[in-house]
Amino acid sequence: MLFAGKQAEFDGVVRAFSVELYRYAYGLCRDRFVAEDLVQDTFTRAWRAWDKLEDDKAARAWLYTILRNEHARLFERKRLDHDEDQDLDEIPDLSSGANPLPGLEVRDAIRALPEGYREPLLLQVLGGFSCAEIANVMRISEGAVMTRLTRARIAFRQLPGWERQMRKKSS
Amino acid sequence: MNCMELRRSLLVNPRLRDREQQMHARECAACHAFAMELEGLESMIEDAVRVPVPEALAERVILRQRTQRSGRRVLFALAASLALAIGVGMHVYRGVDTIDEQPIAATSLGYQNPAVAAISYVLEHEPQLLRTNQSGDPAVMRDALLRLGMTLPEDRVKVRYLGKCPVPGGTGEHLVLATPSGHVTLILVPDRSLGTRVVVDFRGRTAVSSPIRSGSYIVVADSLQTVKKLEQM
């Protein structure tokens, strides 16, 4: 009976969070097949450690942390290469492409954000996490989270044509 | 709260507004416009990150967890069949004479046959998958293969694509391999039998669907000769 309860609880958590976790995974890896694998692996790990989860309310942030670790493990080599090119002290210039597109899709712009900026943005927009919670998931300071979110949004505001897109959306 | 403080806080989280912020935005036209602009941007970001989610994702997660819970048998079968399908596939069929087998026409099997359907899938989806897939990085591929417990004869075979594809009754592991004989598609179905061995010609391609231990595999290539070369590799 105890096991059945645990299974039901797990099933409920999978149904509640698999969609947003998939979107977070997709935001990180930008591949739908890898994203699904990441979600599968996240829940597999979560099930194995289910007994360690003391507070049900913490399940969501815990799952995001597991998924983030799974992604980091999978993309470890790629991440190291990427970080060398990434200067988080600078506001990313998303308009630096050879041909700035007036109709640049926001999805492309998110994709173009350095991972260090994209990640807190995804956690905030998809997960609705506070800066303190994001800091906890990303293991960085709350101040660093605030700085990265600010710079990510400044980068979006510098996109050529984004105002036009916004007008188009609101019309 | 002054203009700078309000703008800083809005850039951190445009959705989070306390009474003080709201009051300032009401009284300051420039900050009000800034807040509206960021809110519009936020809506666009929210729309962009809400990508379509694969159908029945939760059910697949639960199914896999339950299958694994029942033992490590399935995981073992997955690893074993993946390795066997690529490395020593033909050994499973020592008792079956496949040397003289000839492809049969798709019309005699029907378009729902797994081998026939695989050819259609390869022709219709693979070019796009190969173009857009971003996990084609060799390092990422190696990681993915390791996660699946696979080993490839790396001197002869390179994985160009690794993902999932539909097969009758579920999904299969979809690999596109660059071999000395050209591109070959390998679809692994670790936990389901797709029936007896079938060799079929359809739309200029040849596919073999074959049972292997607890599951099945499908190989699609430009000729039967290429298919068999992979099976014997």
Percent of chain A with pLDDT over 70: 70
Specify the pLDDT at position A39: 95
pLDDT in tens, A92-142: 555 544 333 333 477 778 888 888 899 999 999 998 899 999 999 999 999
Tell me if chain A has a CB within 8 Å of the CB of B5. Answer: no
Same domain membership, residue B209 and residue B126:
yes
Residue type, B175: L
Same domain membership, residue A80 and residue A1:
yes
Distance, in Å, from the CA atom of B4 to the CA atom of B31, rounded to the nearest integer, reads 9
Distance, in Å, from the CA atom of B33 to the CA atom of A156, rounded to the nearest integer, reads 16
More confident: B72 or A52 = A52
Tell me the residue length of chain A: 171
A120: domain CATH number?
1.10.10.10
Positions in chain B whose pLDDT score sits under 70? 67-99, 132-154, 191, 213-214
CA distance B129 to chain A (A): 10
**Strand, coil or helix: B92:** helix
B185 domain-assigned: yes
Same domain membership, residue A72 and residue A105:
no
More confident: A146 or B57 = A146
Question: Closest Cα partner for B197 from B224, B222, B173, B177?
Answer: B224
* CA angle in degrees (0–180, nearest 5) for B158-B162-B164: 150
Side-chain-side CA neighbours of residue B230 (13 Å): 32
Same domain membership, residue B217 and residue B119:
yes
B113 and B200 in contact (C-beta within 8 Å)? yes
User: Which residue range(s) make up the domain with B220?
Assistant: 88-232
Q: In the predicted model, what is the mean pLDDT of residues A137-150?
A: 93
Hey, CA dihedral for A129, A130, A134, A136, is it positive or negative?
negative
B136 domain-assigned: yes
Structural domains of chain A, count: 2
List chain B residues with CB under 8 Å of A121: 45
B135 and A71 in contact (C-beta within 8 Å)? no
Same domain membership, residue A23 and residue A5:
yes
Average pLDDT, chain A: 78
Hey, CA dihedral for B22, B41, A142, A88, is it positive or negative?
negative
B199 and B101 in contact (C-beta within 8 Å)? yes
Specify the pLDDT at position A169: 57
| A-chain residue closest to B14, CA distance | A153
Specify the pLDDT at position B12: 92
Specify the pLDDT at position B221: 94
Q: Is the pLDDT of residue A151 over 60?
A: yes
Same domain membership, residue A115 and residue A150:
yes
Distance, in Å, from the CA atom of B129 to the CA atom of B134, rounded to the nearest integer, reads 9
| B-chain residue closest to A70, CA distance | B147
Question: Closest Cα partner for A120 from A155, A158, A85, A76?
Answer: A155
- pTM for the full predicted model: 0.55
* Contact call for A154 and B13, based on CB within 8 A: no
B172 domain-assigned: yes
Same domain membership, residue A119 and residue A70:
no
Distance, in Å, from the CA atom of A4 to the CA atom of A57, rounded to the nearest integer, reads 20
Q: Is the pLDDT of residue A17 over 80?
A: yes
B168 and B194 in contact (C-beta within 8 Å)? yes
* Contact call for A154 and B48, based on CB within 8 A: no
* Contact call for A29 and B134, based on CB within 8 A: yes
B68 domain-assigned: no
Distance, in Å, from the CA atom of B16 to the CA atom of A160, rounded to the nearest integer, reads 26
* Contact call for B133 and A106, based on CB within 8 A: no
Specify the pLDDT at position B84: 44
Same domain membership, residue B207 and residue B116:
yes
B83 domain-assigned: no
A80: domain CATH number?
1.10.1740.10
Tell me if chain A has a CB within 8 Å of the CB of B47. Answer: yes
Structural domains of chain B, count: 2
* Percent of chain B that is helix, strand, coil (3-state, to 5): 50, 20, 30
More confident: A168 or A146 = A146
- CB-based burial, A95-125: b 16+ in 10 Å, e otherwise: beeeeeeeebebbebbebbbbbbbbbbbbbb
B40 domain-assigned: yes
| B-chain residue closest to A143, CA distance | B12
Same domain membership, residue B136 and residue B35:
no
* Contact call for B50 and A18, based on CB within 8 A: no
Same domain membership, residue A110 and residue A78:
no
* Contact call for A44 and B68, based on CB within 8 A: yes
Inter-CA distances, B172 with B175, B187, B209, Å: 9, 6, 13
Same domain membership, residue A48 and residue A108:
no
Is the reported ipTM for this assembly greater than 0.90? no
User: Which residue range(s) make up the domain with A62?
Assistant: 1-85
Residue type, B146: L
